[in-house]
Structure 1
Amino acid sequence: MNRYSDLREIGGGTFGVVYEATDTHKGGKVAIKRIKQAFASWKECLSLREVASLTKIPKHPHIVRLRQLILENKCLNFVFEYLPNDLLRLMRAHKGPVPEPTVRRVMWQLLQGLHHMHRHGFFHRDLKPENLLCAGESLDAVDIKICDLGQAREVRSRPPYTEYVSTRWYRSPEILLRSRHYNSPADMWAAGVVMAELLLGRPVFPGTSEVNQLYLIMDVVGPPAHDSWSEGARLMAAQGLTLPRGSGLGAASLAPDASPAAKLLLTELLAINPQRRATAAAALASECDAEAAAEAGPAAHLSVDTDNIEALLGSLGQGAVV
């Protein structure tokens, strides 16, 4: 850790504290996430899901880059590339609906990152604007990178998962209804909510409780029925939920001034049945994101696999560059 100086706390949570620091070897800023839990060995560190996801997912331009893992004095430190903003902060500074070309560009970058993550066997589980770091000072020239993979799970992993995942406003219906079998479609729901908030310029499902959250969602997309999503209908019945029927006008009604392509993508991302929800690959192939891809040009995909992270960490002792 001696190479990093001028540590300044910039955030934190239940499990760790985040610092901004200066890299005295290479110059420039880094973000250091220090885990509160004490670790006696690298073997213990490897049990952390965030270590597994960050080291097994190949590098990608729209997923925040892990530069180094350092175990020092029983403290585990993640050293990341530094980005000065997050999407929530830029959305608040923008104040109001975001122009659709900008929304297309943001969503194209987000979906690229999600597609890469899902393709390599992980889903995020805590996607929200705060977890989308940004290079740039405004939405007009933003570069999105997905961060905070502490809640990520392998797509092939078996439930049950922990119940509390993601900020309530971005939680998918299957998670709210406590399904034991949710997976990567939960990320796609959250991406749809982010898209709707960008187009609308305000939160779209600001629930005050889990039941209220379900009410707000179903007021727009309608409640699950046996012919549209039988598991959802069963879960609602099992919990004794009888929510009032809302307008059920569909997700496209959230952004009445959007283009037909944007409305279609929003509808596919916010499908109440997770099996009918658009995948990241399908969303990228949509007309809306095809336009964003054309504007952005070819993506510079960085693909560096870390095949044997345990051997790498064991050989380096105090620090591992990944």
Structure 2
Amino acid sequence: MDDYHITKELGDGSFGTVTQAQHKQTGKVGRDLMLALVHRIEQIKTFTNVAIKKMKKEFSSWEKVCELREFKALRSLPPHPNVIALLEAFYIQQTRELYFVFEYMEINLYQFIKDRKGKLLKERTVQSIIFQILKGLHHIHSHGIFHRDMKPENILISTKKKTICNCTNRSDSICNSKQCQNAPWIEHIKTIQDINKSEDSDNYIVKVGDFGLARDIKSKPPYTEYVSTRWYRAPEVLLRSNTYSSPIDLWAVGTIMAELFSLKPLFPGQSEIDQLFKISEILGSPCIRPELSDGAGGGEWKDGVKLAKSLGFAFSQTTPKPLSKLFPQSTSSRFLEFISHLLRYDPRQRLTALDALKHPYFVESNFIFVPQHEPEDIKTIGMEKKRKNGNFLPFKKNGGNLIPGDNKSNNIYSWSKAKDTQIYDANESYTSVNPTTVNCGSPISIDLRRFQLPDD
């Protein structure tokens, strides 16, 4: 491969195979994307390790690639520290193969939990992980997308080595001073053991990944009945509702949070019916109001009872279990209150991602949510807040067209986040481009040898 050196295979899933690779020219991939994530552009470190995902499905044309939900979702999302970054996408017309190049993260949350080997996490560490997941989800939801497949395997985690800041002489991951010459960036620790050895709650980097099942919130139902892994599936999905939306992601966050505290799944159902029984054993029947002081119970859900009846299923008349019995004694009452508002039967009663971020459970522990739009001292071109037809509109600078070109060679197409995203000073003026001129990507000439994986 000309630009990437494959180092090892990471996994093989139903949609594609993933390999770890190193970029041979530091800064070629991801530099502009990184500029959009920090307030300072001097001496910035960039991605050298990447994860390359080869899709198993074949695509007959570049236009078909552009229709892929995962590609559409990741292209339309502005960069965010808690959402996995798609750096490049390559389509080879002769072989109909599609490759995605992502930033590399060492492990997923499932591996992280498994490697704990029963050693419980500190509550503040759980708070930090969930807070970052919620920030990523809020970013996704606020841009009109819901994930539909939130589970530990799709939450990516690393740690960052701390660097001594020149101007404060303190250990900071990213200094806030514009004059700092150190300009440290995140350096990932490479092993699961190293990540689990870290007990510093501020040392974890958490990102939402895998947008293969993502949908536009405004898209018209019916939606696919089967989404997400069963244990993290919301009741409305289990009952075959085809009008669900973003609240299913918040239910999943509640189950993930419970698993982080206990290191075991909260609702480990063996089938969809068993999953509903597992849920009702803990949350009680959706026909019964919760009466316990710690917020136990999933609340009333008349629509759910009707859905169940239409499937020939009836909830047993069970009372909810006290949530305090499910978690370590050291667990705070604020946590019990918080998680009870995520695990509500009725999706309309669940917290939104934004509500969750502003909940006293986080605020009282000094986890303060600050909306991350455009950084103060840079502009991100190619990603306007207004959306049209599911995409962000590009800009042109002082009349100069910044829209990607439409040239290709050897029937190989490429899209690059760095090319789709330009960085300029905030003081410059911008005018929006007519959306009819926007195309899917930036086809360029690429050597086919880039995509040949090493022999076994």
- DSSP-derived class of the 1:37 partner: coil
C-alpha contact (below 8 Å) 2:358/2:368 kept by paired residues: no
For residue 307 of structure 1, what is the aligned residue in structure 2? 392
- Aligned pair 1:279/2:352, yes or no? yes
Instruction: Indicate the residue corresponding to 1:318 in structure 2.
Output: 413
Matched, 1:288 2:361: yes
Whole-angstrom CA distance in 1 between matches of 2:374 and 2:130: 19
Q: Name the CA distance, whole Å, in 1 between partners of 2:101 and 2:339.
A: 35
- Tell me whether 1:143 sits opposite 2:205 in the alignment: yes
Give yes or no for contact 1:62–1:146 (8 Å, CA) kept in 2: yes
Amino acid at match of 2:227: V
Question: Which of 1 and 2 has higher RCO (CA within 8 Å, sep 6+)?
Answer: 1
For 1:40, which of 60, 77, 83 is the aligned residue?
60
Distance of 2:230 and 2:359 partners within structure 1: 28
Q: 1:230 to 1:314 in 2, by over 3 A?
A: farther
Letter in 2 for 1:318: Y
Aligned length: 320
For structure 1, the 5+ residue unaligned runs are none
Alpha-carbon distance in structure 2 between the residues aligned to 1:296 and 1:234: 40
Number of the residue aligned with 1:231:
303
User: Of the candidates 82, 86, 91, which is equivalent to residue 108 of structure 2?
Assistant: 86
1:22-68 C-alpha deviation (Å, 9 max, x unpaired)? 11122721001111222232211011000110011111000001111
Segments of 5+ residues of structure 2 without an aligned counterpart are: 27-46, 160-194, 290-299, 384-390, 395-402, 418-456
Counterpart of 1:194, as a letter, is I
Residue equivalent to 1:126: 149
User: Where does residue 168 of structure 1 map in the other structure?
Assistant: 230
- Closer, same or farther: CA 251–51 of 1 in aligned 2, 3 Å: farther
1:121–1:156 contact (8 Å) kept in structure 2: yes
2:306 paired with 1:244: no
- 1:254 is displaced (CA, Å) by 2.9
Q: CA deviation at 1:95?
A: 2.8
Tell me, yes or no, if structure 1 residue 108 matches structure 2 residue 128.
no
Hey, what does 2:446 align to over in structure 1?
none
Separation in structure 2 between the aligned mates of residue 17 and residue 123 of structure 1, nearest angstrom: 24
**Match in the other structure for 1:60:** 80
Looking at structure 1, the residues matched to 212 and 149 of structure 2 have their Cα atoms a distance apart, in angstroms, of 8
CA 1:282/1:297 → structure 2, altered by over 3 Å: closer, same or farther? Answer: closer
What corresponds to 1:20 in structure 2? Answer: 20
C-alpha distance in structure 2 between counterparts of 1:125 and 1:269, whole Å: 16
1:179–1:144 Cα change, 3 Å: same
The answer (yes or no) to whether the contact 1:173–1:214 under 8 Å persists in 2 is: yes
**Higher percent of residues as helix:** 1
| Residues 1:291 and 1:87: Cα distance change in structure 2 (over 3 Å) | farther
After the TM superposition, which of the residue ranges 92-101 and 81-90 deviates more from structure 2? 92-101
1:81 is matched by which residue type in structure 2?
E
Which residue matches 1:4? Answer: 4
- Worse-matched range after superposition: 47-56 or 246-255: 246-255
Q: Is the CA contact (8 Å cut-off) linking 1:312 and 1:320 kept in structure 2?
A: no
- Distance in 1 (alpha carbons) for counterparts of 2:11 and 2:283: 35
Contact 1:252 1:266 in 2 (8 A): no
Shift of 1:244: 2.9
Superposition deviation, residue 231 in structure 1:
0.9
Query: SS state of the match for residue 56, structure 2?
Result: strand
Larger gyration radius, structure 1 or structure 2: 2
Match of 1:263 among 319, 330, 336: 336
